[in-house]
Amino acid sequence: MGLKELFKKKKMDFMEMLQNQTDKTAETMSALFDFIKSPDKEKAEKVEKLEEEADELRRILIDELNRSFVTPIDREDLFALSRAVDDMADYAKSTVEEVLLFEIVPDQYLYKIAEALCNASKEISLAVKCLRTHPGVCQEHIVRAKKTENFVEHRYREGLVELFKDSNFNKIFKVREIYRHLSNAADKVDEAANIIANVLVKTT
């Protein structure tokens, strides 16, 4: 195998690793949505298991990145995108842990936010898949993913308005913490979408 073929293979490996990570994160966010619909320990364990698998995929990607000189896109973009996607899965895990710990019954706002994050994570995965082959389609997925942040922010505020009508301050603090995790996850969706958009500008 010549150098040209070796470098080409390494580029494909990085994109495949990134694709694997975004796919696993989308699977994690889907499991989070299932959990929010009807929380139980079994569904929580599924989210935690998927998050651990996503973590491992990121560790492999970063290890390869640290040992490689040639990458298909900028090293900084690869690292930042992988980190943003990893943070999404981390917030999913934190959410299920605290819903069970605080004995929270998810409301309609948590349901809508979790559903939006589930859909947005799929858009991020699809954007990565189309990044190098179909930039126009990739851009469409980016736009759809970025809409999530505004949607979640509105649901977050609506949820807080309803929450602060409650006289149970313990409940307010507990539920607000769950809202915050999911709002942070939406921020990471937006960050990931922005990174992919920057890569598109650099490569097209």
The proportion of the chain whose per-residue pLDDT surpasses 90, expressed as a percent, equals 83
Model pLDDT, residue 149: 85
Q: What is the pLDDT of residues 65-103, one digit of tens each?
A: 888 878 888 999 999 999 999 999 999 999 999 999 999
What's residue 5's pLDDT? 54
pLDDT score of 112 more than 70? yes
Q: How confident is the model at residue 204 (pLDDT cuts 50, 70, 90)?
A: confident
7-203 is classed CATH 1.10.3720.10: no
Provide the percentage of residues in the chain whose pLDDT is more than 70: 94
pLDDT digits (tens, 9 = 90+) for 168-179: 999 999 999 999
Domain boundaries of the chain, sorted by first residue: 7-203
pLDDT at position 7 is 46
Q: How far apart are CA 125 and CA 165, in angstroms?
A: 38
Q: Which helix (H) or strand (E) holds 136?
A: helix 135-163
CA distance 121 to 13: 21
Q: Name residues whose C-beta falls within 8 Å of residue 85's C-beta, 6 or more positions apart in sequence.
A: 21, 22, 25, 54, 58, 124, 188, 192
